[in-house]
Structure 1
Amino acid sequence: MVIKLPSHGYDDLFEFLSYLKKPNQEPVVIDFEKVKQYSPVALVTLISKVKAYLSEEIPVFFMNHEHFEAVDYFQRMNFFSICNISMPEKFQRHDSYGIFTEIQEFGINKGSVDVISDGIARCCVPEEEKSKIDHQTENSEIYDLLVYALSELVNNVVQHSESRGFISAQFYRKTELVRIGIADYGIGILDSFKNNNSPHYRDNWSDADAIQKALEPKVSSKNHIKSLYQTPVNAGVGLSILKKLSEKLSGKFCLVSGNAIIENAQLKVLSADCYFKGVAVNIAFKKSGLPDFQEALMETKKELGLISRSGKFKGVIDNDD
């Protein structure tokens, strides 16, 4: 089966996944000829799809991948190296300078959640906030919020997917837009609720039911399981915070698992041959709106129990009350 990739892959994962159909145990050939511009979520979703094919022992081959229009971008983002494709680079690698974070793999014994979350957050915060991040006395609540939400989201994949995941981000200077993409090729949200004996799970659930429940505040397939500190191993607020972030800043939010997808609060169902093994999340928002977002999100953070009595942002196991 030959998959001819579309020229553009942005925030619309429903359309993008319609190209990535599931073969009937025949080899998959992915044709890059028409590819021009892809967002971080399109990159990590494509990688996860490739890894899913391979995990099912379906051979995968690339075609026209050495000379297509966006080849330098794909190489700089480490797409081909993660796919174990070695190709000479015809450009000089420069530091990202907070403009993007190349694709990073995480999971069991792969990648530090703290380091990954810090890198993505630094790419997202406004310039005037960056000096506060490492300051001895000042504090960037925007940075703290992003690191916490991202680390929860990454940890969610590590804890629930039984696989590995990929994350990347990019800041577009002309439009002030930030895009964050995360995807894995694990068991998906529905099976995570089921396999962990979550009290939220119902026998008649579909993928659509599972992803809608996962977006409720303080809902996780493991938040009934306690850590050594007698706190939930996952608080179930990462998705809620990032969804609110995109909504308040007139951005975009997308969550995919199995054959269900929620894009900007609209539920859609993928065709059976486009089933996405694992989870993919896209968050897009205007970076220039982040300072105003802090006040707008304060009430949400209070509801989630993420505000201490002193009025500062706190994590799940912190308790300065």
Structure 2
Amino acid sequence: MSNHPRLESWVHSVWSHRGPVACLLYPLSLIYQAVSASRRRRTVANHLPVPVVVVGNIYVGGTGKTPVTIALVRALRARGWTPGVISRGFGRSEDGVRLVTPDSDASQVGDEPLLIARESLAPVAVGRERVKAGLELLREHPGVNIIISDDGLQHAALARDVELAVIGARGLGNGWLLPAGPLREPVSRLDDVDAIILNTTTESVVESRTPRFAASSCFGACRRLSTGEVRDIDTIAADLERTGGKALAAAGIAAPGRFFAMVRGHDIDCAELELGDHFDFSSNPFRGRKEDVILITGKDAVKCAQIPEIKGDDRIWVVGLEVVLDPYLIDLIDTRASEAARRLGRHPEAQNDSIE
């Protein structure tokens, strides 16, 4: 949301309950709902020539969609699909369509699409107009037979075959729409999606008839930013204990508390640095820090790696995050995408048969 974590934290605290500030803003939420509904009714949905799976949320800000998208790319690839990903690319310096490569500049394509491109190795395109981004991706990568739209739940101009709503650690807040609450759409919107993904360790209360699936997360390999050296998190923890070293966990993501808790769960007693979502690292928040080890997220690493002063800091380790999706969720997506693909003649099996 911003580079001001204290303000961001205060806003989310207001949105967590129906207190005086939220109640004061509630009339504006009614206006927001009316305008949004009118705009959606007037928008014509455009189809891409391949099945489209939308991964999004109704809570403004991060819910962990990007790791879920990466996991979904891998899971669908294992089922025989050739996925591509489209995204708006939050924080970009332009709105036009651009293809993303692992070497792209984060300021031009966005930190999350760049992370997806690097971690999933799938073709990725960004653009404010998702349909144009999808068409450009398919033009450059004609072998792609399914597209995942990252953060596209509210992008009504893009027709979709499967909708997935991700709910993170903050749940649904006070259940009100912006600006009195954190929601972009009413809670009832969850009744229309194909599946809800609970990307949180806490029990989220979601009143919906839509099937719910849990996403589990754990740390993967840790990579030293400066050299590429790989260690696991427990080895780093053991080295800190043996040497008496100090650690810092830093995160420029939404809801960083989960990242900090996971670090502490590996017996690392660390200081915490909450930077705010989509933080601009050009100011180098690590300059002057005295800790021996600095742990950062993969999302932040794509920007840090493009700043020489930060990339050369031997203390910085990028903590990999692995998300595991419920196999029954993948079955559901595979089935519905396959039905759409057969109508379009783009199912992997159909393509393989035509080649033979």
Same fold (TM over 0.5): no
TM-score, scaled relative to structure 2: 0.25
When normalised by structure 1's length, the TM-score is 0.26
Higher relative CO (CA 8 A, sep ≥ 6), structure 1 or 2? 2
Q: Which has the larger radius of gyration?
A: 2
